[in-house]
Amino acid sequence: MTLAPTPGLTVVSLLPKLLNTNGDAANARVLAQRARWAGIEASVVPVHTVDDLPDSVDLVVIGSGTDTDLIMARDALLPFADVARAWLAGGVPVLAVGTGWELLSGGLDLADGTAIDGLGLIAGRASSLPARATDDIVVAGDDVRLIGFENHARGFTGARRPVGRLISGTGNGDGFEGSVAGNFIGTHLHGPVLARNPELADRMLGLACTAKGLVRPMSAQADTADDIAKAARNQVAVRLGLDAD
């Protein structure tokens, strides 16, 4: 049965040309598609300059970039500082991955001793790891296990609250992974993370729907996608010697 569309959601993909090294800008498409499967209209708006910003923003996705583009990415993000601060203060669900997350923090300390100022919107700071982390990562969240792939040269300190406890991988470098502040999520998980962990996508969608007074029913399409994601996560879990979900 096809559900009748209802007034929808606007998902902003911030700087998707610059911050999409690991395909993380696709997290915006995951959010929009899961909303559509539930009969809610949803659009993804690629935002490259402040002039591209839509009148209404319900969810925001920021991907990861390369270290060679760190200054360029930081300077491209700077014009969005005020609006991003408003999103965070207003409870708009925001997902930032990798360097997109790091650049929203107090700053980055690179292996060569260089320090790069961040936007200072998120508590904490990214600091160089002894070795680059490139492996599967498993995280025990509040009530869900998240699995993805990490590819980063820096850990993270000073997060108000982590996404979860590390089961396998490097994460922040202190036994935990990610940063949570209100409806903001920062993470090292690629995959894209919302495709591999649809429970996390549904949490973000639930927050956005509640804010707009929308009801998001489950759908057969989402169930099928969830089964595929679960099988992919279980392959990683078994390979790492962990129990399957």
What average pLDDT does this structure show over 59-85? 97
The number of C-alpha atoms within 13 Å of 169 and in the hemisphere containing its C-beta is 32
Q: For domain 6-239, give the fold.
A: Rossmann fold (3.40.50)
Does residue 160 surpass a pLDDT of 50? yes
What average pLDDT does this structure show over 155-171? 97
What average pLDDT does this structure show over 80-105? 98
Confidence tier at 218 by pLDDT (50, 70, 90): confident
Tokens 């959601």 correspond to 9
Asked if residue 82 lies in contact with residue 119, where contact means CB atoms within 8 angstroms, the answer is: no
- pLDDT, residue 216, reads 84
The model carries a pTM of: 0.95
Q: Could you give the residue ranges of the DSSP H alpha helices within the chain? A: 26-37, 70-77, 81-90, 99-102, 193-196, 198-212, 220-239
The chain-wide mean pLDDT, for the chain, equals 95
What average pLDDT does this structure show over 142-160? 95
Asked if residue 76 lies in contact with residue 34, where contact means CB atoms within 8 angstroms, the answer is: no
What average pLDDT does this structure show over 110-130? 96
Name the percent of the chain lying above pLDDT 90. Answer: 93
Residue length of the chain:
245
